[in-house]
Structure 1
Amino acid sequence: MLIDCHAHLLPRDYPADAPECFPRMEPIDGETARLLVFGAMKFKARDVFFEAERRVEAMDAAGVDAEVLTPMPPLLRYELPAGDYLSLCRWVNEFTAELCASQPGRLYGFGIVPMQDVDAATAELKAIREAGLYGVEISSNIAGKSIGDESFLPFFQEAERLGIPIFVHAMPSPNPRLPMSTMGTFVVGIEGMYAAASLIHGGTAEKCPNLRISFSHAAGGFPLMLPRAQYFWGGTWNEEPPIPEKAVAHTEGPSPMEYARRFYYDSLVFDRRALRFLVDLLGHERLLVGSDFPAMDREDPCGRTLRMLDLPEDVLNDITWNNAFRWLGIDPPK
């Protein structure tokens, strides 16, 4: 079995009387694809983005048994007026719920919420669950503010209380330090690292020990920086027992590495050596398969690079499907 935990959708349409800030999906003559127009953004969306039958056909062709579906990241628009964006979230969430309900056991949908209004986002979590959605997707920063900022703590606490998993998708900050041409490459790595590190050093990981949260693209550069954070915390190399008097930033309680091993990470890192590093550093129990499909083409078959590692069967099963159900908080199908 293989569960793709990083796959995306787009609604086929939006209301004709929607606020001006809503996106549009325009027909393309002679094609089943549609054109997403959202402000200055234009994106040609194949029908697999919004047609359940096309998705299942693509999954079968790639050897994928189920997908965790999240809205395309450009729909995470926290700069919009909170009220209008809440309406957009509810429209997208309703579409997601209907799409996934048409293929139970194969499509597990996540919703979106207006993180620019923390109270509204927190209140919307209950509606996410009632709609039959399994989790919620958020951006790696909220209009430039770190997700580890204490102002977002009530949101994460409520998600933990309700048992709702979170998927953090890396997105550029409003004031990026690199050209936008690098958004799909280096910015993903930087923003993922900031997001994961902020949850540890901002205190959210300590205050929400049972939060089930996953990061796109293995949180970018975060895993490679963890050993340095561990050294500053413990004063030793290679996770040897800490020597507090040698440490720069020693605190009582879990180490940065221990906190990091509470998170989940998708495997979309494009290289078997990077995957091996993640398995060795974070543990196979924390890795999920991801593809970014259909925004990107999957490997053929999905998980091909992962299988190059010649992992023991039980380890491979954890990464390809067991961990997905642990993250979702549901029992796997028999």
Structure 2
Amino acid sequence: MIVDAHAHLLPKDYPADAPECFPSMEPIEGSKDRLLVFGQMRFPAKEVFFEAERRIEAMDAAGVDAEVLTPMPPLLRYDLDVADGLALARHVNEFTAGVVAHDPQRMHGLGMVPMQDPDAATAELKAVKDLGLRGVEIASNILGSSIGDEKFLPFFEEVERLGLSVFVHAMPSPNDRLPMSAMGTYVVGIEGVYAAASMILGGTAAKCPDLRISFSHAAGGLAMMLPRANYFWGGSWNEEPKNPERAVMPDDGPSPLEYARRFYYDSLVFDRRTLRYLIDLFGADRLLVGSDFPAMPREDPAARTLKSMDLPADQLDDIGWRNAYRWLGLEAPVPTA
């Protein structure tokens, strides 16, 4: 089985009386596709973004058994007025719930909330759950603030209390220092590190031990940073026993690596060598299949690289599908032969 835990959707339309700040989906002559117009953005959206039947067909063609659907990241517009941001989130969430209802065994939806107002975002979580959505997608930073900032702690505590899941999608920060050409490449790696590290350093990981949170693209460069963080914490190399005399920042609590192993990571890293390192560092029980489909084409067939690595069957099953259900808090189905 394969569960694609990083796939996106877009609403087909928006209300005629929607605020001017809302996106629009304009018809494309001679096509069933739509043009997403959102501020300066012009994005041709294939029909598979918004038609449930086309998604099922695409999954069948790629060998995907189920998808976790999240809003296309440009919809996470935290610069909107709170009331407009909430209205947009509710429209997207209701649309997502409708798509998922087409085949709830094969599609699992995550919603969005107006993180620019942590109180409003927290209050909206119950409505997300009541729609049957499994959790929420948030950006890796909120108008430049790290998600591990203490002002977001009540939000994550409520997510944990409600048994919802979180998907953190890397997004540019307002103070990015790299050119626009790096937005889809290097910025993804940098933002992933900031987001996941802030959850550890800000104390959220310690205060929300049962939080089910996943980071896009394996949280970027986090895996390369953690051994150094562990050395500063415990003064030893290779996760050997602590050496307090060498520790730069001694701490009696769990190590940075122990905290990081509470998180999930989608394994969309484009190279089997990186995948092997992630499995070795985090464990096969922490990784998920992801594709960014349909914003990016899937491997053909899906998870081709993962399947080529001669992993033990239990590790392949964990990454391929079991971990996705654990992250979502769902009982995994019994695979058919």
Range class of TM-score, shorter chain: over 0.9
Corresponding residue number in structure 2 for 1:254: 254
Which residue is equivalent to 2:144?
Answer: 144
Q: Secondary structure of the residue that 2:109 maps to in structure 1?
A: strand
Structure 1 letter corresponding to 2:143: A
Structure 2: give runs of 5+ residues left out of the alignment: none
Distance 2:212 2:104 in 1: 22
Matches within 5 A, 1:56-135: 56-135=56-135
Q: Secondary structure at the match of 1:268?
A: coil
Offset, 1:246? 1.2
Partner of 1:156: 156
1:219 and 2:219 are equivalent in the alignment: yes
Distance 1:253 1:235 in 2: 14
Classify the secondary structure of the residue corresponding to 1:206.
Answer: helix
Residue type at the aligned position of 2:268: L
For residue 210 of structure 2, what is the aligned residue in structure 1? 210
Mean Cα deviation higher: 214-223 or 174-183: 174-183
* SS state at 2:92 partner: helix
Q: What secondary structure does 1:245 align onto?
A: coil
Aligned-residue offset at 1:70: 0.1
Shift of 1:268: 0.1
2:14 alignment partner, SS class: coil
Which amino acid in structure 1 is aligned with residue 227 of structure 2?
A: P
In structure 1, give the amino acid aligned to 2:101. A
Corresponding residue number in structure 2 for 1:173? 173
Deviation at 1:194?
0.3
SS in structure 2 opposite 1:138? strand
CA–CA distance in structure 1, aligned partners of residues 180 and 140 of structure 2: 16
Provide the residue aligned with 1:293 in structure 2.
293
1:7 matched to 2:7? The reply is yes
Mapping for residues 17-28 of structure 1, pairs under 5 Å: 17-28=17-28
The CA RMSD over aligned residues, in Å, is 0.6
User: Structure 2 CA distance, aligned partners of 1:252 and 1:162?
Assistant: 30
**Map of 1:229 onto structure 2:** 229
> Aligned with 2:225: secondary structure?
helix
Corresponding position of 1:308: 308
Question: In the alignment, residue 41 of structure 2 is paired with which amino acid?
Answer: M
Matching residue's letter, 1:62: A
Cα distance in 2, alignment partners of residues 222 and 126 from structure 1:
31
Rounded Cα–Cα distance in structure 2 between residues aligned with 1:200 and 1:238: 20
> What is the SS of the residue equivalent to 1:311?
coil
The normalised TM-score by structure 2 is 0.98
* Displacement after TM superposition at 1:56 (Å): 0.5
1:78 and 1:139 mapped to 2: Cα distance? 9
Please state how far the C-alpha of 1:252 moved relative to its aligned partner.
Answer: 1.2
**1:55-99 CA deviation, whole Å, 9 max, x = no partner?**
001000100000000000000000110110100000000000000
Using the TM superposition, give the Cα deviation of residue 303 of structure 1 relative to its aligned residue in structure 2, in angstroms: 0.5
- Give the CA deviation at 1:179: 0.7
Instruction: Give CA deviations for 1:109-163 in whole Å, capped at 9, x if unaligned.
Output: 0000000010010011100100010110000000110001000000000001111
Q: CA deviation at 1:180?
A: 1.4
Percent identical pairs in the alignment equals 73
Partner of 1:317: 317
Q: CA deviation at 1:177?
A: 1.0
Q: C-alpha separation between the residues in 1 aligned to 2:319 and 2:151? A: 33
Matching residue of 2:264: 264
Q: Cα deviation per residue 1:229-285 (whole Å; 9 max; x = unaligned)?
A: 001001010000111221011111100000000000001000000000000000000
The aligned residue for residue 327 of structure 2 is: 327
Question: What code does the residue aligned with 1:91 have?
Answer: H
Provide Cα deviations, 1:287-313, integer angstroms capped at 9, x if missing partner. 000000000000000000011211000
Once the 2 structures are TM-superposed, how far is the Cα of residue 333 of structure 1 from its aligned partner?
2.2
* TM-score for both structures, normalised by structure 1: 0.99
Give the aligned residue type for 2:49.
F
